[in-house]
Chain A
Amino acid sequence: MADAAKPATLFEKIWRRHVVVDRPDGYTLLYIDRHLIHDGSYFAFQRLKNRGLKMRRPDLSFGTPDHYMPTNTRNKEDVTNPDSKRMVTGLAINGAEHGVTVFDIGDRRNGIVHVVGPEQGITLPGITLVCGDSHTSTHGAMGCLAFGIGSSEVTHVMATQSLWQKKPKTMRIDIDGALGFGITGKDVILAIIAKIGTAGGTGHVFEFAGSGIRQLSMEGRLTLCNMSIEGGGRAGMIAPDDKTFAYIAGKPYAPKGAAWDKALVEWKALPSDAGASFDSDVRLSGPDIAPMVTFGTSPEDAVPITDRVPDPSTAKDATKREGLTRALAYMGLTPGTAITDIKIDRVFIGSCTNSRIEDIRAAAAVAKGRKAVVPSWIVPGSGIIKEQAEAEGLDKVFKEAGFEWREAGCSMCLGTNGEIGHPQERIASTSNRNFVGRQGKGVRTHLVSPAMAAAAAVSGHFTDVRRMKV
């Protein structure tokens, strides 16, 4: 048993509280407080059923279909692919059978699973949360331990409400000093990944700390933790503070009354103790971070907007050189091209990385009074965000500027709902992966923040949003 007096990290405190069994071989059976499911969990339900098992704690599971539903309709009958339709409709059917709360298509609370959890107060500080999706790291922004699992593990959690885990290592990533004007969580995380590489955090749980992080809104923190997985991290976490508590207060599934007061006392004890040590430490200077744009086919291929497409011959080793050469060929880019000279064909603003109200406001501020010169989509993260944006008149701003205002869902982030780009189309996207073929076969994805995506939409090429009058 760890010494209670020894300074502990946020991660360590949550881990300790969830140990069901510690085995001598170093494996821990970890209790899972919340399990989020989505339409992609279809096969896990099947496996549970095939084995004749029941869900142990359906009351701790919440579902929302998001990956396979098109975002131009709210009618499930419009899903034409029978395999996709089975998954979209299957969630509510399985949910009803097992007694799981499902925010189905048509429910205003429906949306992307990683947007819905925090929005409903399902995601809370100090808990363990899993979901069969790698971007489950998002939820760590609320001060909890949240990580993605595979489909076999989803069935395991359904049956046992626990998981076998080996304790990961910890890495503290400090952002020192205030972020500059117009710098968002997206720019911060892209700068971090550019520094540590996509495998930089393998086997680690990140804790993001420092004044640059405290300054971020909850939306910005969610964006930051969302892409921990792109830095190789198992999870990303941020210590809960007054911003966290204010965000949670009054959310439908958050504790209320006396339970709230009690929870608050516990949550305030969660931040890492002074003197707690991490397996590794990384530091970035907050004021030095600029709006970032990716140029290649890995999220680590990110540079400031003021920079140029790098020359592969300057890469540090042969593997990197080959990778860069291949990436630039796929992306159709010439070394030395100024990022601001790259013309784009399409814009996608959405995904669990950047589809929250603040993201939509930031994009609207740029779009207002201007005109999109390429097809540009805005896909809110949930029905509630869509409603709120409409109440603020943002949908009108977008429509006047020629943007397409759509229903909630994953949409063009992954395209499993059929919403994909054309081969060789160049997309400025607020999603999280610029992998080869991610947004459709041959599609060239550049990852940016919502404001940068909107700036690209109205100018037709990447533009430093800091230079635009917003």
Chain B
Amino acid sequence: MAQDKDPQEKVPARKPFTSVTAVAAPINQANVDTDQIIPARFLSLPREKMSPHLFRDVRYNDNGSPKPEFVLNKPAYKNAQIIVAERNFACGSSREMAVTVIQDNGFKSVIAPSFGDIFFNNCFQNGVLPVMLPEARVNQLLRFLLELPGAEITVDLPTQTVKGPDGMVDTFEIDSFRKDCLLKGIDEIAMTLGYEADIAAFEKKQRSANG
């Protein structure tokens, strides 16, 4: 089979992440798993065809009509670029589409008390900023967003702060490595190829040890 006839995955160019002020969508449910974010039956689709299927089964009825009560179907959240979710967001499989489908729906940052480990890593690979805040504060933010649909939040990476609709500012932790990569839009593979000499030296050492 000729590979060059395959649809090519369109990966958006990596843009640096600095700050986002935007409407935030509240997903007030714990343990939202990656099977809900993007059901398995869509995983073989090329990336550009996947984005309409974000939260497919909780968002749409069987006949394809949107469920009006689902947060992302409400007009107030139409331009949302931030997700605020409960604990253990995006637990489950390693599917990176859980990040890219969120990203391709316009979201730049996800705030939650905790995340599935692999999803958390995958966010950085794609320039999406996952922010961990204490559970009590996340619950407060969720209440605001539910009571004031369309309220905005600011996530600022240089100062590592989140400003809520109530004007309260929280700081969050992020590794300097991850922060740097996001701020500069650094491509990890290109960076690691710069360590080629170290990798080659490691391989040489390992070979002689295994002699």
Contacts and interface: CB of A to CB of B under 8 A. Distances in A.
Interface of A: 20-21, 23, 25-27, 29, 31, 40, 43, 46-47, 49-51, 53, 56, 68, 81, 83-84, 86-87, 89-90, 93-94, 132-134, 148-153, 155-156, 159-162, 164, 166, 198-199, 202-203, 232, 234, 298, 319-320, 322-323, 326, 414-416, 420, 433, 435-438, 441
Interface in B118-133: 118, 121-122, 125-126
Contacts of B88: 198-199, 202, 232
Contacts of A414: 40
B118 A134 contact: yes
A20 B44 contact: no
A19 B86 CA distance: 35
Interface string B172-194: 00011100100000001100110
In this complex, which of A27, A68, A94, A319 has the most chain B Cβ atoms within 10 angstroms of its Cβ?
A319
Contacts of B41: 415-416, 420
A150 B36 contact: no
Interface residues of B, number: 55
Contact of B36 (A162, A234, A437): A437
B92 interface: yes
Question: A-B pairs with the 8 shortest C-beta distances?
Answer: A152-B125, A83-B44, A150-B122, A150-B96, A199-B88, A151-B96, A134-B94, A148-B94
Contacts of A31: 199, 202-203, 206
B1 interface: yes
Nearest to A197: B88
A226 to B, nearest CB: 13
A40 B43 contact: yes
B156 interface: no
A17 to B, nearest CB: 9
Contacts of A438: 35, 40
5 contacts: A31-B206, A132-B94, A162-B192, A162-B195, A437-B36
Contacts of B87: 199, 319
Contacts of A232: 88, 91, 116-117
B45 interface: yes
Contacts of B117: 202-203, 232, 234
Nearest to B188: A156
Nearest to A46: B9
Contacts, number: 169
B141 to A, nearest CB: 14
A433 B122 CA distance: 21
B97 to A, nearest CB: 8
A462 B30 CA distance: 28
Given A29-B192, A93-B1, A23 B177 contact: yes
B62 to A, nearest CB: 8
Contacts of B180: 25
A150 B118 contact: yes
Contacts of B125: 150, 152-153
A198 B95 CA distance: 18
In this complex, which of B3, B180, B198 has the most chain A Cβ atoms within 10 angstroms of its Cβ?
B3
A446 B70 CA distance: 27
B31 interface: yes
Nearest to A88: B44
B1 A89 contact: yes
A420 B57 CA distance: 15
Contacts of B203: 31, 161
Contacts of A83: 44-46
Contacts of A153: 121-122, 125
Contact of A46 (B6, B35, B126): B6
Contacts of B58: 436
A133 B6 CA distance: 23
Contacts of A148: 94, 118
Contacts of A298: 31, 33
